[in-house]
């Protein structure tokens, strides 16, 4: 990987909003078709990486928040909304999208899913091209600010990509200082291997995020599959000896849980049974070592 500056930022971003406000359009405009990852049943996996954008100063990792549903009020959906709430709690920035025509009750419901204390929520007012009266924008922004202490409010036109760079600049401010978690050369790869590595990394991050401040890398060391079954051996690579114990957990409990969750998601993605073995290895300073990053390739 190319050099990155000391104050490089990297973090996770969720784009949320009621149906039809233009979330997919916005995400596609930002990340481009080439990196959007699709899976057979996306709604069953939380926090899947949709795409990664890297510039000179930051890496933006957009994650999915499936189950962000306000249409139906049944118990299942309520349960999913709870999980969405925890997903949002784990992201560094949340972009709430509404339409320029103003707040609807469904938008309010989405806002209710966000913690009122959150300081990392940006409001994107989309479809400004449809506004007949641009002067209505200021009152709408003031009204929005009265509803929630948004970190920023950015009017955009997702379809034409207008002011999307302003939105990115606001998101960037919310991302923590981190080295890039993804090699920009690798994330465009949509191979099952890459996705499997990402699933494992995501599970580790989910279970250990608070304890491990820096990224964890994953290598796929063995991959063999036939029609019915895949056999995968993977390694979680941590930076310090002390981190190894954290990842493994008491009696191996954390690592087992990471493997169990990852195996289920990989199985679902591939549509076959998966045998998954996950090992942990210490690789000092892997974040700084260009050569190491190359061999962490997911090809
Ligand atoms: N005029 C205009 N239309 C837009 C803009 N952005 C999105 N749209 C349109 O709005 C509609 C909904 O866009 P989507 O991106 O599918 O919305 P979504 O929020 O992902 O919808 P769900 O998948 O149902 O949650 C589509 O017809 C888009 O073409 C915009 O900036 N201006």
Clarify whether residues 164 and 196 are in a common domain.
Answer: no
Residue 179 lies in a domain: no
pTM of the model: 0.63
| The domain boundary residue, chosen from 174, 206, 228 | 174
CA-closest candidate to residue 209, choices 92, 72, 52, 49: 92
Same domain, 107 and 246: no
Q: Please give the structure tokens belonging to residue 160.
A: 């034409």
Q: What is the pLDDT of residue 185?
A: 56
C-alpha neighbours within 13 Å on the C-beta side of residue 128: 22
The answer to whether position 4 is within a domain reads no
Give residue 100 CA to ligand 1 midpoint distance, Å: 12
Residue 156 lies in a domain: yes
- The candidate with the shortest Cα–Cα distance to 99, out of 56, 68, 131, 62, is 131
Ligand 1 cavity residues, CB under 6 Å: 17, 19-25, 126-127, 129-130, 157-159
Same domain, 112 and 209: no
Distances (CA, A) of 289 to 84, 183, 238, 267, 284: 35, 12, 13, 32, 9
Report the nearest-CA residue for atom 13 of ligand 1.
22
Looking at residue 2, its pLDDT comes to: 54
Measured over the CA atoms of residue 186, residue 171, residue 16 and residue 20, the dihedral's sign is negative
Per-residue model confidence (pLDDT) at position 123: 98
Is 184 a domain residue? no
Instruction: Give pLDDT tens digits for 161-187.
Output: 889 999 999 999 999 998 887 766 555
Q: Are residues 224 and 134 in the same domain?
A: no
Are residues 270 and 240 both part of a single domain? yes
pLDDT for the residue numbered 166: 95
| 157 in the same domain as 100 | yes
- Which atom, in ligand 1's list, is nearest to the CA of 68? 25
Residue 31's domain is classified under what CATH number? 3.40.50.300
Three-state secondary structure along the chain?
Answer: CCCCCCCCEEEEEEEECCCCCCHHHHHHHHHCHHHCCCCCCHHHCCCCEEEEEECCCEEEEEECCCCCCCCCCCHHHHHHHHHHHHHHHHCCEEEEEEECCCCCHHHHHHHHCCCCCCCCEEEEEECHHHCCCHHHHHHHHHHHHHHCCCCEEEECECCCCECHHHHHHHHHHHCCECCCCCCCCCCCCCCHHHHHHHHHHHHHHHHHCCCCCCCCEEEEEEEEECCCEEEEEEEEEECCHHHHHHHHCHHHHHHHHHHHHHHHHHHHHHCCEEEEEEEEEECCCCCCCHHHHHHCCCC
160, 267: one domain = no
- Same-domain check for residues 135 and 214: no
In this structure, is residue 96 part of a structural domain?
yes
Burial of 34 (0-12, 13-18, 19+ CB in 10 A): exposed
Asked if residue 180 is part of any domain, the answer here is no
**To test the ligand 1 pocket, which listed residue (21, 22, 154) has its Cβ within 8 A of the most ligand atoms?**
22
Report the domain count for the chain: 2
Single out the residue of 215, 275, 261 nearest to residue 45, CA to CA.
261
Atom 22 of ligand 1, nearest CA residue? 19
Ligand 1 center from residue 22 Cα (angstroms): 3
Residue 177 confidence (pLDDT):
92
Among 125, 140, 174, the domain boundary falls at 174
Judge whether 1 lies within some domain: no
Tens-place pLDDT, residues 49-66: 677 888 889 989 887 765
Q: How far is the CA of 297 from the centre of ligand 1 (A)?
A: 35
Say if residue 92 is in the same domain as residue 201. Answer: no
List the residue whose alpha carbon is closest to atom 23 of ligand 1: 19
pLDDT at 72: 42
Looking at the structure, do residues 139 and 211 belong to the same domain, yes or no? Answer: no
Q: Are residues 118 and 57 in the same domain?
A: yes
Which residue owns the Cα nearest ligand 1 atom 15?
Answer: 22
Q: What is the CATH number of the domain that holds 286?
A: 3.30.300.20
Q: Which residues of the chain have pLDDT under 50?
A: 1, 33-46, 67, 69-80, 188, 287-299
- Confirm whether 185 is domain-assigned: no
Of 14, 15, 20, 166, best ligand 1 pocket probe by most atoms within 8 Å of the beta carbon: 20
- The two structure tokens encoding residue 204: 């580790």
Same domain (yes/no): 201, 85: no
Distance 147 CA to ligand 1 centre (A): 24
Provide the domain limits for residue 234. 192-295
pLDDT of 40: 33
């Amino acid at each position: 990987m190319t050099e990155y500056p000391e104050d490089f930022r990297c973090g996770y971003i969720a784009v949320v909003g009621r149906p039809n406000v233009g979330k997919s359009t916005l995400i596609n405009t930002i990340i481009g078709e080439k990196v959007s990852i699709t899976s057979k049943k996306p709604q069953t996996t939380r926090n899947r990486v949709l795409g990664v954008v890297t510039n000179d100063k930051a890496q933006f990792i957009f994650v999915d928040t499936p189950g962000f549903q306000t249409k139906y009020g049944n118990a299942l959906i309520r349960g999913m909304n709870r999980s969405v709430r925890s997903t949002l709690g784990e992201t560094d920035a949340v972009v709430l999208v509404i339409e320029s025509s103003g707040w609807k009750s469904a938008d309010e419901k989405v806002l209710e899913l966000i913690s009122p204390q959150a300081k990392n929520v940006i409001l994107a007012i989309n479809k400004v091209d449809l506004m007949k009266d641009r002067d209505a924008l200021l009152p709408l922004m003031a009204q929005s600010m009265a509803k929630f202490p948004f970190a920023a409010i950015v009017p955009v036109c997702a379809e034409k990509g207008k002011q999307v760079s302003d939105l990115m600049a606001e998101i960037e401010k919310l991302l923590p200082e981190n080295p890039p978690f993804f090699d920009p050369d690798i994330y465009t790869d949509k191979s099952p291997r890459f996705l499997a590595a990402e699933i494992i990394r995501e599970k580790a991050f989910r279970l250990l995020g608070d304890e491990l401040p820096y990224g964890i890398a994953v290598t796929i060391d063995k991959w063999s599959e036939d029609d019915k079954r895949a056999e995968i051996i993977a390694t979680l690579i941590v930076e310090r000896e002390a981190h190894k114990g954290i990842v493994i957990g008491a009696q191996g409990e954390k690592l087992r849980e990471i493997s169990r969750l990852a195996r289920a998601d990989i199985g679902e993605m591939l549509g076959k049974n998966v045998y998954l073995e996950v090992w942990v290895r210490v690789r000092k300073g892997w974040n700084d070592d260009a050569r190491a990053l190359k061999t962490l390739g997911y090809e």
